[in-house]
Amino acid sequence: MWRKLEVVAVLASALVLATAHGGRTGEAPAQLAAACAIKAPPELVESGSLTFGTTLGTPPQGFSQGDKPAGLDIDVASALATEMCLRPQFVNLAFAGLFPALGARKFDAVIAGVGITKQREETYDFVPYFLGGLRLVVRKDSGLIFKDEKEVCGHVVAALAGSVEVRDLEKYNPGCPEGRKMEVHVFPTNNEVLEQLRKKVVEVIFIDWPFAAYTVQQNPEDFAIGSPVLTGEAPGEPRHREGIMIRKGDTAMKTALADALAKIQTDGSYDKILAKWNLGEGDIRRAD
């Protein structure tokens, strides 16, 4: 049973067709389509729109600013839609709910800091757009600091349901000594994860590095960075890539998104978005 989806439309983007190509509002649809940088994929969930599933609870990548979606993911998705002369539209769901909803065609693609893993690639296709990484965050007054995930043994930790962080903790927990296993709690939103730390229900939380940086920056008296940026992989492995997730075998959508991403990287739009959110360390081109 699907709960009612919260559809958040970027109303300002309704002007995309008029402004992205010089404000030629009088052009016929065929002329305007010919002017688009990237050919829009067929069989969209909603004609004229590129609809993304996202989670608006992970600033600075995706969050609500007033009554509008904001963040790196929102800006990247909007820029990609603009290259196709489409209106960007967003459906806000809990992270774990994005996966079945994509399969049920509730939207065209997912952009929500989804880490690309071998297991996920068996079911979905991806267009990498951001260089991820994980980080532990603690209360400032705790004095806790961790070199890596193994040092979380014996502690109470929270993470986002369905996330790479949960998978990572589950990988290390069996190796913890008897009597010092991690006590892992999962929650449907990052806001709830953070609230458990604030209320001292847990000792440490495991979240994406951009959200960790933002959290500490916004709450310097309450929270502190508790680890270096971690990969979620074996020691020495590179940081994971985050990807725009699409249905397996949707070649037209994958090609359009990849071409649009290459276009905004070439014209400098991608760099401006990274700079706007102070996330230059996440430039996906660093993974090459």
pLDDT digit string, tens, across residues 108-128: 999 999 999 899 999 999 999
**Phi and psi torsions of 260, nearest 5°:** -65, -40
Q: Are 92 and 55 in contact (CB under 8 A)?
A: yes
**Residue-level pLDDT at 276:** 94
pLDDT: which is higher, 246 or 20: 246
Domains along the chain with CATH numbers:
6-132+241-287 (3.40.190.10), 134-225 (3.40.190.10)
Could you tell me the pLDDT band of residue 209, with boundaries at 50, 70 and 90?
Answer: very high
Q: Inform me whether the pLDDT recorded for 233 exceeds 80.
A: no
Q: Which residue has the tokens 């962080």?
A: 165
- Report the pLDDT value the prediction gives residue 232, as an integer from 0 to 100: 81
Indicate if the pLDDT at residue 150 is higher than 90. yes
Which run of H or E residues covers position 87? Answer: strand 87-92
Residue 247 has pLDDT above 90, yes or no: yes
Helix axes 251-266, 72-83, angle to 10 degrees: 100
Helices (H), the chain: 16-19, 29-35, 72-83, 95-103, 118-121, 164-172, 190-198, 209-218, 251-266, 269-276
pLDDT of 268: 98
Identify the pLDDT of residue 109. Answer: 98
pLDDT at position 237, please? 80
- Global model pTM greater than 0.85: no
Residue-level pLDDT at 281: 87
The Cα–Cα gap between 87 and 89 comes to 6
16 pLDDT above the threshold of 60:
no
